[in-house]
Structure 1
Amino acid sequence: MRKKHVLLFLLLCVLAGCERPDEEAAEVEEPPEQAARTRGVVHLDQDAQAAIGIVTGKVTTSPQQEMWERLGWLVVPPGQQSVVKAAATGFYLPAIGESKMTVGTAVSQDAPLGSLQIFLSPQEAAQLVVAKEEADLVMNQALVSQRLAEQQLEKLERGGSTSIVAGKRLLELKEIIERNRVAYKEAQEKLPFLPSEPYADSLNLKSVPVKSPLTGLISTMHVVPRQLVVQGDPLWTIEDWSTLWIKVPIFEGDLPGIPHENPAYAVLPGTLSVEQVERVMHPQPTEPGRRTVDIYYRLKNPRGQLRPGQSLLMEIPHGKTEMQATIPRSALIWDGMGNAWVYLQIDPEHFRRQMVETGPGDAETISIMRGLKQGETIVTSGVQSLYGEEFKSDLQAEDDD
């Protein structure tokens, strides 16, 4: 009898245990509103929509140029890069206040970059001493000859002789005086570039200043302070990045189909910002064995946030125009997988997230290849806030955990 009671009790416990998971499942069942959100539908009343700035609009159509997606690279335009080279052999000395000049330093045109302290070999020093002595000799001889000629000229003029011989002598003396003046001046002009007396063991000549040929940034440094450089050695590479070119390789057979007058669009690296760029007529021949030719577009870079060598996604016009669904770029939202979405208004208080395939566009609008039709109502402003509302419950659940 006792065993029957025990078996009956165990049977009841087993039955109770089997029913318990169903009860727990009923307790954790998702509410209808949350289940709808997981399917990409968000419910917001009119007040909530106004609070987060929801604005809706109709999907329209507009003629869109057929576009190709190509990869381009930023390059420095011709004439906006300069390699500063040493004008003489010597030691580089930084300009006052420019001792910390390095890669990325901004410089202005004709700004002092430093100077070159001329280095002389023993043979060059000896040659300069000889040249200095010759210049001094020429100057002294010119002064003596000029003084003697002036004395003779003065006597002839004071004597008042009017003979032909005296007149010819006057002209000769005046010529001698003028030649000596020229010789003295020429020799004197050499002195700033020659050593001065008394001569020391090492001759110190006047430094040669080095200035920036253009306004830009130092992109490469080839020299450090007190370094000895030879005439013609590169010192710095200076580049102007205020405007860059985008180089895009195109198959030579496709080149005639790209209109010159139509702008292209560049997606800036690291952002979703799109810039309209104009074609640069910079024709280049096709290299043998290479079936592509480079075309160029001009891109302004006033803040210097872009760098030569960066790649950009380009949308290049090609072919004829066709009518396509068009929406504002503000209506798009991108997920972490690179997919584009919009919010389609189902009724005045419900919005469904809809995946779309984007096409070409401009800085303000973008065409939709698939996912939308003309006349449908979508959210054009407040998309980020609506996206947050859709996943708000998930974030709260994570915080509770």
Structure 2
Amino acid sequence: MYFPTFASPLLAASRCLALTGLLAGAAACGKDEKPKAIVASEVENPVKESELTTVTITADAEKRLGIKTVAIKTDNVQATREVGGEIQAVPGQAVTILAPVQGTLRGGASITAGQRVREGQTLYSLVPLPAERDLLTLSQGTAQARTQLQVTQARLSRAEALLADRAGSVRARDDARADVALAQQNLADARARQAAANGSAGVGQALPIKAPLSGVVQRVTVTDGSLVTANTVLVELAALNKVWVRVPLFVGDLRRLGKDQAVTVRPLDGGTPRQGKPVEAPLLGATAGTGTADVFYEIDNADEAFRPGERVAVDVNLTSAASGTGTSASTPALTIPAAALLYDATGGQWVYVRTKPLQYTRQRVEVQRAVGDQIVISRGVKAGAEVVTDGAAELFGTEFGGAH
């Protein structure tokens, strides 16, 4: 006998649900799988920089390279300031030559900037143009120039007397001398104009323009054959056997300047440094915007290595006392000999440290400044470590294949 079953539709539905679940699970598994990222480059077995900087050599190689080491120590380093300075001509030793009258210049074709001239040398000949015959005005001008010369000579006498009594300054005396020289030149010009107007110089007769001091031509503003008017600037001269250095120093360091403390002046092109002596009673000028004040130092310049307007580096030593008369200020710092410092092609600074016998590790350091033949290190090494001095360059070549 046949009995109909009602389970067949239910069984079919459960099978459909199971199949649907399997399909959904397969789809879900497919979503979890992400495509592998594609990179432009890949470095296999990367090595740290510290593992590339160790050089191990034999005892014979160490002897052949002449390697010597010193221990890094902490020293008290002189407190200094490295500032910029500007070379200037000494006041009273720079002269601007003017045309005394209107006329035409002759014989100045050989005057060029940078040329040395001696006192009394004729630089130009000025052929005056016909002057107006106003003798009264010219006579008054000569008298005024003569009076001005007398006044400046009296001022110079007072300045020299005050300096002898230690109540004046060298700068005041030099300025007075410059005023006397200028007044003498003005008087000579006035007399020349008066003589030309009187006809004693002769129409067309040349007036010599001479150098009032021995020095170097700084600037030339005219050429041979130029037509100039009275008081036209012709040439600027400067005596350069001694020059001044103007140093804008932070006002907070002014009281830390040692009395009669010299400074080291270094050319920016790496030339030989020189000592600068402080100028007696300098005139200090302050710049509110930068918080600096100007101090002046004098350096010997017999070889004329420095020229006015040149920029230089100046090392100023500071004292510990607020009055500026105490002992030199110093701070503890790590120092190494200059021979131990190496530079790579990109300007990186390195030293070789002996970590084990016959084993040397190159370490990067940061240099703060140089003090004599010692280098002040701000970071990169520790006190007590042994750095290579003699043979450091040979180790550098050995590491990078430049030596064998």
**Same fold by TM (over 0.5)?**
yes
Alpha-carbon deviation of 1:55?
4.4
- Counterpart residue number, 2:17: none
Deviation at 1:230, TM superposition (A): 3.0
Larger radius of gyration: 1
Deviations 1:337-362 (A, max 9, x none): 55433332334544333333334543
Instruction: Determine if the alignment matches structure 1 residue 390 to structure 2 residue 389.
Output: no
Which residue type is aligned with residue 102 of structure 1?
T
Contact kept? 2:111, 2:123, Cα under 8 Å: no
Match of 1:232 in 2: 231
Q: Is the contact between residue 57 and residue 378 of structure 1 (CA under 8 Å) also seen in structure 2? A: yes
**1:103 equivalenced with 2:113 (yes/no):** yes
Using structure 1 for the length normalisation, give the TM-score: 0.57
Deviations 1:237-266 (A, max 9, x none): 223445544333233343213333444445
Partner of 2:200: 194
Pairing of 1:63-82 with structure 2 (within 5 A): 63-82=76-95
Contact 2:128 2:206 in 1 (8 A): no
Decide whether aligned partners of structure 1 residues 352 and 278 sit closer, same or farther in structure 2, where only a CA change above 3 A counts: farther
The answer to whether structure 1 residue 40 and structure 2 residue 53 are counterparts is: yes
Cα distance in 2, alignment partners of residues 268 and 252 from structure 1: 24
Q: 1:239 to 1:54 in 2, by over 3 A?
A: farther
Report the equivalent of 1:327.
Answer: 336
After superposition, the C-alpha distances for 1:97-137 in whole angstroms (9 at most, x for unaligned) are: xx4432222x143162423232131645x98xxxxxxxxxx
Higher helix share: 1
Give secondary structure in 1 for the equivalent of 2:86.
strand
Q: Is the 8 A contact 1:340 1:358 kept in 2?
A: yes
Which residue does 1:175 correspond to in 2? none
AA of the residue aligned to 2:376:
S
Contact between 2:66 and 2:390, CA under 8 Å: does it hold in 1? yes
How far does residue 225 in structure 1 lie from its aligned partner after superposition? Answer: 0.9
| Aligned-partner Cα distance in 1 for 2:204–2:271 | 59
Contact 1:358–1:366 (CA under 8 A) maintained in structure 2: yes
| Conserved 8 A contact 2:265-2:313 | yes
Q: How many pairs does the alignment contain?
A: 292
CA 1:85/1:46 → structure 2, altered by over 3 Å: closer, same or farther?
Answer: farther
Counterpart position of 1:163: none
Which secondary structure state, in structure 2, belongs to the residue aligned with residue 256 of structure 1?
helix
Aligned AA (1:66): A
Distance 1:44 1:358 in 2: 28
CA distance in 1, matches of 2:271, 2:381: 21
1:292 maps to a residue whose letter is T
Counting only pairs closer than 5 Å after superposition, residues 79-228 of structure 1 correspond to structure 2 as 79-94=92-107, 99-105=109-115, 107-110=116-119, 112-121=121-130, 123=132, 194=200, 203-211=203-211, 213-216=213-216, 218-228=217-227
| Partner secondary structure for residue 330 of structure 1 | helix
Answer yes or no: is 1:365 the counterpart of 2:374. Answer: yes
Determine if contact 2:263/2:317 at 8 Å carries over to the other structure: yes
337 and 279 in structure 1: CA distance in 2 versus 1, 3 angstrom threshold: farther
- C-alpha displacement at 1:48, in angstroms? 5.1
Corresponding residue SS for 1:392? coil
In structure 1, the residue corresponding to 2:204 is in which secondary structure?
coil
Cα deviation code 1:192-251 (max 9, x no counterpart): 98267xxxxxx33254142251223x2211111111233332211223445544333233
**1:310-363 deviation line (CA, Å, top 9, x unaligned):** 444444333432333333333333446554333323345443333333345433
Residue ranges of structure 1 left out of the alignment (5+ in a row): 1-24, 128-189, 197-202, 397-401
1:235 and 1:358, CA in 2 relative to 1: closer, same or farther beyond 3 A? same
Gaps of 5+ in 2: 1-42, 136-194, 321-328
| Cα gap change, 1:244 to 1:93, in 2 (>3 Å) | same
After superposition, what is the alpha-carbon deviation per residue over 1:288-322, rounded to whole angstroms, capped at 9, x for unaligned? Answer: 77743112344555655555444444443334323
> What is the correspondence of 1:276-315 to structure 2 with a 5 Å cutoff?
277-281=276-280, 282-286=282-286, 291-300=291-300, 304-315=304-315
Residue 252 of structure 1: aligned partner: 251
Question: What is the alpha-carbon distance in structure 1 between the residues aligned to residue 92 and residue 81 of structure 2?
Answer: 30
CA distance, structure 2, for counterparts of residue 247 and residue 55 of structure 1: 43
Counterpart contact for 2:240–2:307, Cα < 8 Å = yes
Q: Which residue of 2 aligns with 1:351?
A: 360
* Aligned residues of 2:105 and 2:127 also touching (Cα < 8 A): no
Aligned 8 A contact 1:264 1:315 in 2: yes
**Other structure's SS at 1:255 match:** helix
Q: Is the 8 A contact 1:86 1:230 kept in 2?
A: yes
Give SS of 2:339's match.
helix
Matches of 1:313 and 1:55, distance apart in 2? 33
Contact 1:94 1:113 in 2 (8 A): no
What is the percentage of aligned positions where both structures have the same residue? 23
Equivalent AA in structure 1 for residue 113 of structure 2: V
Deviation of the 1:72 alpha carbon: 3.2
SS in 1 for 2:79: strand
Which deviates further from its counterpart, 368-377 or 230-239? 368-377
Q: One-letter code of the match for 1:205?
A: Q
Q: CA–CA distance in 1 between the matches of 2:366 and 2:352?
A: 14
Q: 1:322 to 1:253 in 2, by over 3 A?
A: closer
